[in-house]
Structures are given as structure tokens and as C-alpha cells.
Amino acid sequence: MLTYIVRRLLAMVPVLIGVSIIVFLFIHMIPGDPAVAILGERATPESVARMRTELGLDKPIWEQYFIYIGNIFQGDWGRSIRSNTPIIDEIRVKFPATAELAIAAMIIALLIGLPAGIISAARRNSLFDSTAMFVALIGVSMPVFWLGLMLAFLFSVALGWLPFSGRLDSTLVLQTKTGFMVWDALMTANWNALGNSFAHLILPAVTLSTIPMAIIARMTRSSLLEELGQDYVRTAKAMGFNERRVLLGHAMKNASLPVVTTIGLQVGALLSGAILTETIFSWPGIGRWIFSAIQARDYPIVQGAALLITLVFMAVNLLVDISYAFLDPRIRYH
Amino acid sequence: MKKRVICSVLVAVMLLSMSALPISAGTTDFNDVFGHWAQADIMTLVDKGIISGYPDGTFQPDKSVTRAEFIKILAAALQLPQAAPAGVSPFSDVAMTDWFFEPVMEGVQNNLIGGFPDGTFLPNDPITREQVAKILVRAKGIDETSTVLMSQSQEIISKIPDWSQVSEWAQLFVINAIAADLMKGDPSGNFRPLASLTRAETAVIGVRMMVATPTPTPTAPPVTGGAFIFGRGADCVKLDPADVTDGESARGTVQIYDTLVQFKGETTIVEPALATSWEVSTDNLTWTFHLRQGVKFHDGADFNADAVLFNFERWWDESNAYHVGTFEYFSSMFNGFKGTEGCTFTKMEKVSDSAVRFTLAQPYAPLLSTLAMFCFAIASPTAIKAQGPENYGTSTQYPGVGTGAFKVVEWTKDDKLVLDRNPDYWGYKANVDQVILRVIPDNAARYLALKAGEIQGMEGANPEDAKAAAADPTLQVLLRPPMNVGTVLFKVDAPPFDNVNVRKALAMAINKQPIVDAFYGATGLVANQFLPPSLWGYNKELKDYAYDPVAAKQMLADAGYTDANPLTIDFWYMPNPRPYFPDPKAIAEAIAADLSKIGVVVNLKTEDWSTYLDDRKNGKFGLWMLGWTGDNGDPDNFLFFHYGVPRAGEGNYNNPALIKILLDAQKEVDQAKRDLLYQQAAVLIHDDCPRIFIGHNQVPLLFSTKVSGYVPNPTGTEFFNTVSIAP
């Protein structure tokens, strides 16, 4: 098992190098560069040339790449072209913001999606089943942007129950250590900030949870149905085990492999795909950061963030693969 | 983008359906007011019922105003208390039955106006500008004998060529009216004391008095304390103003820093800031600035000549150890860095602890306006040295340190910038304890945050949200005076637009007024030249190409483009709104529709903004949309930037006569002469038609009604120390 994990970790290195090359090439291939993006209407050939020199963009592209990758290996992620802030400092703040949101969304998605899928499978073709699957269909196809604005309008503007912009009230101060607001507030026993950051988390997390929730519910239902049709289920039932035990104890355990795979993929998608939710709810996370960096052609940010997301994706996949071994004793890694 | 549009529409529909109140727009359209330089003010007073037009649908803005008419308008604008009942008229020529009896009495009882020694009031005589000066100074409660310092009066008098014509009794009033910014001279500086006031001038004065006089409690002190939370679309890039060019960075840094001179209130008039006064040598090459004494930076360091020189040398000298960054504004405004051919400065030196001197390579008329820009703010040298030039102003740990009304407390990137009141500020100490600049990237979400009370002010509203806000009793809309222009450009050195008649045909085919009405909210102005009407240098006489699709089609036919052989063009528009084009796609579609009416086949095209700017710079487009937002209120910043050097990005438009005028204007220090030069330039540009000028936008700013004291400035950089928040 351990050798397997080490092998997988080592295999990440060439993938990361490959990703860095591809991202580097792509971002440099798009027309427009940071100088043009910074200068806006005042971009003239002279001012752009002057600024490119100041920013070090006049070097050959391969040279820029080797400087970049060399620094990465020394633990230096570089600095933003526009703001000159070290990338690693921004990642320390923005990654926890997105992670907190994604974790909250995933908890909601699991708490609702899993039971809904199981009940739908158990009561196939019942009213609950068709309603749940219809709602799930809406969940997948509802535009996140629209849903977010509607929730914001209803719960913040019309009812005034929940805040919707940012992670904390503007005037509240919380010294963050980990970057996870809820966690930091809990650890410092700052109950006011805890309640406030939790309230700020609700609307964006609910918005972000809709798509994974719907996918998990449908996936759980279909893989459970498949298992329920297997011989061992019939045998178990024939042997007189009660329904619930057959369903949850036997069938669900076997059905969980594809479900876990789906969850793993969704975690990756949540981390990188939270951009719309982060935009509506003014959440200072990684998605918005990358998006504005692409618009501004802030190469080091785009590269750094792409590497980070690749890392997270691969780590989650590794965890999913390892979990297989626990869920299915037939799977052994060597 | 599409999602955003759909969502905005949905939210707008929802909001409108909840509060379906009509928007009060100028319902009376005068056929002689549109495009007039005083249009906005005239419409404001008309909407408020303070002034009205004539039954024939005209307003006659240039007609003179009588004494009776003026006092009636002013009484309404000031909301003067009703006159105590009088048994008999104090004037032989004012009867109690006259329509103007009531306002004249109000003016007399408030000590604004009196009669003549012979007991007459002469109500039907035109009012002169010097009489107006007296009334306004009285209305503002200014003691004309004590408020203006001797040195300031001398300075004011020296700038009025026709000072000798001012009547003796009116001299102190005229000086005070100018010092208090109640009245101005004409573009050449003449005050014209005996000229009569026009209806348009009256409207401007009426609005100014209305704004300047808070009713109903004129003496109420501003509310102090609390936090002013302002929502915006993006964060500051850096808190080092010298090394940024974006408006959002400027919005943050002007609260933290001061410049040597600054823009006054809602104008681009330059007033003293960290420099209290200045002198220019007779050859206009040496400028000496006297610095304010006793000012300290937020870190406790002293502000003095060494600090000023440290900053200027950091910007100017590429070999300076602290010159880390691009310093783009310095090099573009002053034509490069130290040692570059053509750089404005040749020498920077300390005269004493409280004075610095700059020597220029050649006279540079826009110097003061340029130094008032946010980017030429003085930062603490000790802070820059302590933080290191590569870190300065990049985070909470490395904050920007200036002398301004607020200091940095906390900066969470892409979330909020928290600033605390500087209790030791040299100028007007802030009313609020805290300013918080919140980043809310989506326009619709930002508007909802304002409605939900999470922020108290915002910029960048979708046009439909700005309309909804105008009808919302809990919100107020302020308009920033226009200093921008949205245009359509031609590549003039390649077919088909190398033919000036083709360009003119297109200009005549676009019906600008409906486009401006539809897409600039109620506040846009049709543009017929580069400069907005609020700027000096604006050519009032210039007549725009009249909208005439028939003649335009004929001109195209003469150039060889007929229905059988139509002119087919790609028309490029930008993907995102700009201050001068609130909705570029819709505007492009409207223009394309107008062009198709004269038989032009238009392919609309767009691309990502950075790519768009790059392609435009490299001359890829034949017909495209782009505009300009002015930096400092000087016409040079509009005209020389674009036409001083022929460029592919300007469609290779090259008119040596125009370039000469613009260079002359840059060196000429007499503003009256510069004014005329820019007016000439406008005519040359009009005749060559390298651009079609579409509109000037007055950017709306939305606030909770609890907010007061916010003064929008055309440059977009506004000081928050005057803002108050009601509890």
C-alpha cells in the first residue's frame, strides 16, 4: 500500500511539469499581454514596449519558462505581474476561502443527495422517486448565476434573514490563522464571528451544492438499483435478512464505489468551478482570482493556480483510489 | 457574459415589478437645449419646476434674464422662507400685484438684493454679472470684507483681464464669488461684469446654489462617526499610486495620500494641497512649490522637501534604487524618464526644507493639472525604505503610507480594504471613523448588496438598476460630471475609409440622440467633438454632421457603393462596458442598424478585452468602438494623447496642421490662447472625421439616503472625508 502511494506521488511530478508547459504555452499564445491589459485605452506601441521591458516580458518565451520552473523547484511561486504580491501569499488566503466553501457545499450535497438517492432506489417508481429525480434534473440544469441571485434577493433583500456578500460583516474583525473563517472563529472562541461567518457561508454553499447534490443523488440511485438487481441481494432477501440491512449493509457498500468516484470528481470541480458562486457572493476565492488573472494576462497567477488545482485534483483522485481498498476488500494495491 | 445579461434582466424585471414607479426624467424636451453646454443643469431646474421654457417648445438658453426673473429663480432654488406680509411695496416700480412681488420681497427680506437710491428696483432690466456676484455672495452668507486673503485677491485679480470694468462697489463681491467658486470667468478669463446673465448661466448658478445650500437645516453639523462602506467591482491593484494606472487603485489611494495640488470639489480646478502656493518663472520653465508645514505621514515621519524630492526622484530616475515598478503614468504624462529625449523635467532640487523647484525642458502648460492626478501622491520615504520598494503597498503587512485623511488598517485582497480616520489630518478631518471599500464583482449583486444595506454606496450599476434606484425612496443617485467620450474610429489610410466622404456618410447615417437616450440612461449627452462640454477648450460653435440617411446614401453612391455593390465592413465592439459606453453591444447593434439603412452591410464582431486592445493597437480593425476617460481635465489629455503622434491605434490619422496646433497648445501657458487653439483643433478633427463622436456619459453613483456629503468629481477620484452617514 505504502509503495503504491509513493509511486503515485512520484507520478505526479511529470504530470505537473506537463501541465505547467501546456498552461504556459496557452496563456502566452493568446493575443494581448499584461502590459496591454494594464494600460487599457492608453496602450500605444511605445507604452507597451516600455512596460514589457519593465515587467521582464521582453525575454524569449522559453527563457521565461525556465526561469519560472526553476523558481518553482526552489519553492518560489513568483509574484503577480500586476500587483507584485507573492503568489504563495495569495494562495494562502484564497485557497482556504474556496476550500471552506467547497467543503460546506459538499456536506450539504451529501446530506441531501445520498439519502435522496437511496430512498429513490429503495422505492423505485414511487412518487418520492420521481419527484426527487425531477428536482435533481432541475438541480443539474439550473444556471448557478440565476439561482444565486434569486437566493440573494429572497433571503437578503426581501426577507433580510441572511447576509450574502463576503465571508464576514465588513466591520467585523477576525484574525485568521488557517484562512478557514468558521474554524478560526471556533478555535478562538469568537462566537460572534463564528455565527457571522457561518451565516455568510449558507447562501453560497447552498448555491454551490445544487449541482453535486443532484449528481450524487442520481448516481447513488442508479448504482444502487444495479446492485439491487444482483443475485446476492436476492439471496440475502431469500435468507430473511431485513430490507434495511440488505439495502444499507450489503447493496449500498458495493454501490458506493462509483458514488465515491463521483464525489471525488465533484470535489475537484467544486474547487476550480466555484467561480460563478464566488462572483455572485463576493467570495474572495481561487476561482475569481484565476478568472481575473486570465483577463489581466497575469501569467504567474494563472500558472501557479493551474498547478495548485492540478495538485488538488490528483490528491483527491489518490484518496478516492485508496478508499476503494477499504470499501471493496477485493481491491488490493501493490 | 450572456448569463450575466440574462440574470441582470431577470433581476431588473423582478425589481421593477416590485416597485413599478415611473422614473422622473426630463419630460419637457426643448428643441434648443439638447447638446447645449448647460443642458444638464437646465433640465435639473426644469424637472424641479424652478425654471420653465416658452410655449413654443423652446428654452432660449442664450436669452438674457431680468432682475425680477433672476430673483424668482434664485428664491426657488434656495427655498427662501416666505416673505413677511408687507402693506406697501418698498419700490416705486414693483406693484403688489406683479408676479415677481413675492420673490423680490423674499430676496429683500433675506438681504440678498436691494433697490436703487431713487427708490426703484428696475425689475425688467437685465441683471448684470456683477450684480449677480453680490447676490450670490450674500446668499452664501460670506462676509465679503474678511474671507479672502490679500494675496489670494491679487491672484484672482491678476487672472481677470477685464478687471478694470468691474464697478467699485462690486469688486469685493466679484473676488469672493470667484474664490468661493460661485461664478467663473469665460474661457479667456474675462469676467464680463456688465454683461447680462443668460438663461443658461442662470440655470447653472441655480443648480450650484441648490447643491451648495443644504435644506431644510442649513446649519446642521455633519453627522460624525460610523463606517462608510462603498461597493465596487474590483480591488486596488496596489496601494502605491505611483505604480498603478487603474481607477480602483486610485479610489483607495486618494483616501490615504495627498498630492501637491488637488482637484477642487466637483471640478477640475486645481487648488493647493500639500503645496500651499507656487511660482513660475517668466520663461515658464522653473516652478517653485512652497510646502505645507507641520504635516506628518501616518508613520510619524515629517513631510518636507526631502520627502517630496524622494518621491519625484523615485518616479523620474530609472536608476534610483526605489524605482521598482513601471511608473507608467509618470512616463506617459511627462514623456519618459530622466535622460529620455523630450522628458518634461530636466532638474529637481530642494530650495529649503519647505520648498522644491522643478526645471522643465520646455513650457508645459498642463503641469498643475497633471500634478493633481492621484498618481503623483507623496508617500512616506521611511515606509518605502523600511518595506522595501518591491513590497511597498502590496498588502496589510506592507501598507501604503501617506499623509491623507485615512490610514490603512486591513487589506484582504479581492474582499475589503479597511481605512481608519486620521485624527491628525492637516485638512478637513473625516466625518466617519472608518471607510471600507468592499469588492463585489457582479453589478447586479452589488446593487442587491446596496438594497440589503450591506454597503451604503456603489459605482458601476447596470443602467436598469440605476433607473430602479432613482425610483427607490431609500436610495439616491448622484451623477459624476462627464469627462469621457465614446467614439467610433476609422482606419483612415486604407479602403474604404481612406475616402473622407465615406467616413462622413457613416457619420451622417448614425442617429445619435436615440442611441444616447436608450443606452446612456437619462443622463448621457450627445457628443459632437472629443471634449465634453464641461471642459474649457470645448467648441460651442461646432455643428455636428446632421442625421441625414438620404444624403448619406447618396454620398456612398457617389463613392461607388450602391445596393448592387454594397459597402461591406466588419464593425468591432468591446466585450465589456466602459464608462463611456455603458452597453457596448447594444450601442454597436443600434449603430449597425442605422448603417444598414443606408445600405452598408455590417458584420458585428468582438473579442476578449485584452486581445481587443492589442489588435486595436496593431491596426487590425477598420471600424471599431473605443473611447476615453480624461485624467486631469486638461484638453491636452484628450487631444494630444490621441492625435499628437500618428498611430495605427488611431487609424493612422495624420494631420500635420493639427499636430502643430496641439504642440503649440502644450507650450502655450496663456489659457485663453490655449482655449482657442483647442477650439481650432476641434474644427480640423471635425472636417477630417477620423472618428464619429457618439456620447458623453455621466456615470451614476448609487447611495443609501443615509449618505450625505459625497462630492462626485469628473476625474473619478473622490475624497471620502466629507461623507457622513446618518444613523
| pLDDT tens readout for residues B541-563 | 999 999 999 999 999 999 999 99
B154-179 mean pLDDT: 85
| Nearest partner of B236 among B385, B405, B412, judged by Cα | B412
Give the minimum alpha-carbon distance from A94 to chain B in angstroms, rounded to a whole number: 9
Predicted confidence (pLDDT) at residue B214 exceeds the cutoff of 60: no
- The per-residue pLDDT for B306 is 97
Residue that wins the pLDDT comparison between B719 and A144? B719
Report the sign of the C-alpha dihedral through residues B534, B535, B541, B542, in that order: negative
Cα gap B392→A185, rounded to integer Å? 30
| Nearest partner of B466 among B481, B453, B452, B478, judged by Cα | B478
Residue that wins the pLDDT comparison between B245 and B81? B245
- The per-residue pLDDT for B22 is 33
What percent of chain B lies above the pLDDT cut of 70?
Answer: 92
Q: Does A164 touch chain B (CB under 8 A)?
A: yes
Question: Best of A27, A50, A57, A83 to disrupt the B interface by mutation (most B CBs within 10 Å)?
Answer: A83
Confidence at B416, pLDDT banded by 50, 70, 90: very high
- The per-residue pLDDT for B588 is 96
Cell of B131: 450684480
B5-10 mean pLDDT: 51
Contacts of A167 in chain B (CB under 8 A): 415
| Strand pairing report for B601-605 and B568-572 | parallel
CB contact under 8 A, B617 and A37: no
B607-628 mean pLDDT: 91
Cell of B499: 475616402
CB pairs under 8 A between A and B: 180
Predicted confidence (pLDDT) at residue A157 exceeds the cutoff of 60: yes
**Rounded to two decimals, what is the model's pTM?**
0.75
Predicted confidence (pLDDT) at residue B613 exceeds the cutoff of 70: yes
Helix (H), strand (E) at residue B469: helix B463-470
> How many CB atoms within 10 Å of residue B226?
18
Confidence at B589, pLDDT banded by 50, 70, 90: very high
Q: Does A48 touch chain B (CB under 8 A)?
A: yes
Instruction: Please write the tens of the pLDDT for every residue from B262-279.
Output: 998 888 888 899 999 898
- The per-residue pLDDT for B28 is 47
CB contact under 8 A, A94 and B415: no
CB contact under 8 A, A167 and B326: no
Cα gap A283→A274, rounded to integer Å? 9
- The per-residue pLDDT for A252 is 85
Contacts of A37 in chain B (CB under 8 A): 609-610, 613
A296-302 mean pLDDT: 89
- The per-residue pLDDT for B87 is 65
Give the minimum alpha-carbon distance from A244 to chain B in angstroms, rounded to a whole number: 44
CB contact under 8 A, A89 and B395: yes
- The per-residue pLDDT for B12 is 46
Instruction: Please write the tens of the pLDDT for every residue from A163-174.
Output: 988 998 888 888
Instruction: Please write the tens of the pLDDT for every residue from B654-711.
Output: 999 999 999 999 988 888 899 999 999 999 999 999 999 999 998 899 999 999 999 9
CB within 8 A of A219, min separation 6: which ones?
Answer: A117, A258, A259, A262
Give the minimum alpha-carbon distance from A290 to chain B in angstroms, rounded to a whole number: 12
Residues B323/B315, Cβ–Cβ less than 8 Å: yes
Confidence at B11, pLDDT banded by 50, 70, 90: very low
Mean pLDDT (chain A) is: 87
| Strand pairing report for B457-459 and B227-232 | parallel
Cell of A225: 438499483
Cα gap B650→B617, rounded to integer Å? 8
Cα gap A73→A85, rounded to integer Å? 19
A251-276 mean pLDDT: 84
Q: Which residue of B has its CA nearest to A292?
A: B234
- B288-294: long-range pairs with CB below 8 Å, 24+: B288/B351, B288/B355, B288/B356, B288/B357, B289/B260, B289/B355, B289/B356, B289/B357, B289/B358, B290/B354, B290/B355, B291/B260, B291/B354, B291/B355, B291/B356, B292/B426, B293/B354, B294/B426
- The per-residue pLDDT for B358 is 96
Q: Does A43 touch chain B (CB under 8 A)?
A: yes
| Cβ within 8 Å of B, A 180-199 | none
Mean pLDDT (chain B) is: 87
Confidence at B17, pLDDT banded by 50, 70, 90: very low
Contacts of A288 in chain B (CB under 8 A): 414, 441
Counting Cα atoms < 13 Å in the Cβ hemisphere of B279 gives: 9
Kindly report the backbone phi and psi dihedral angles of residue B473, in degrees, each rounded to the nearest multiple of 5, phi listed first: -65, -15
| Cβ within 8 Å of B, A 266-295 | 276, 279-282, 284, 288-289, 292, 295
* Residue at A271: amino acid letter: L
Burial tier of B512 (Cβ tally within 10 Å: 0-12, 13-18, 19+): buried
Predicted confidence (pLDDT) at residue B130 exceeds the cutoff of 50: yes
B198-205 mean pLDDT: 85
Lowest mean pLDDT segment, chosen from A193-207, B75-89, B237-251, B508-522 = B75-89
B33-49 mean pLDDT: 77
Cα gap B68→B121, rounded to integer Å? 9
Predicted confidence (pLDDT) at residue A334 exceeds the cutoff of 70: no
| Cβ within 8 Å of B, A 101-120 | none
Instruction: Please write the tens of the pLDDT for every residue from B439-494.
Output: 999 999 999 999 999 999 999 888 888 888 988 999 999 988 889 999 999 999 99
Question: Best of B398, B418, B454 to disrupt the A interface by mutation (most A CBs within 10 Å)?
Answer: B454
Residue that wins the pLDDT comparison between B521 and B421? B421
- The per-residue pLDDT for B6 is 54
CB contact under 8 A, B628 and A41: yes
Cα gap B482→B472, rounded to integer Å? 24
- The per-residue pLDDT for B157 is 84
- The per-residue pLDDT for B196 is 87
Give the minimum alpha-carbon distance from A252 to chain B in angstroms, rounded to a whole number: 39
Residue that wins the pLDDT comparison between B185 and B626? B626
Cα gap B118→B91, rounded to integer Å? 9
- The per-residue pLDDT for B149 is 55
Cα gap B575→A19, rounded to integer Å? 29
Counting Cα atoms < 13 Å in the Cβ hemisphere of B465 gives: 27
Query: Is ipTM over 0.90?
Result: no
Predicted confidence (pLDDT) at residue B15 exceeds the cutoff of 60: no
Rg (CA), chain B: 27
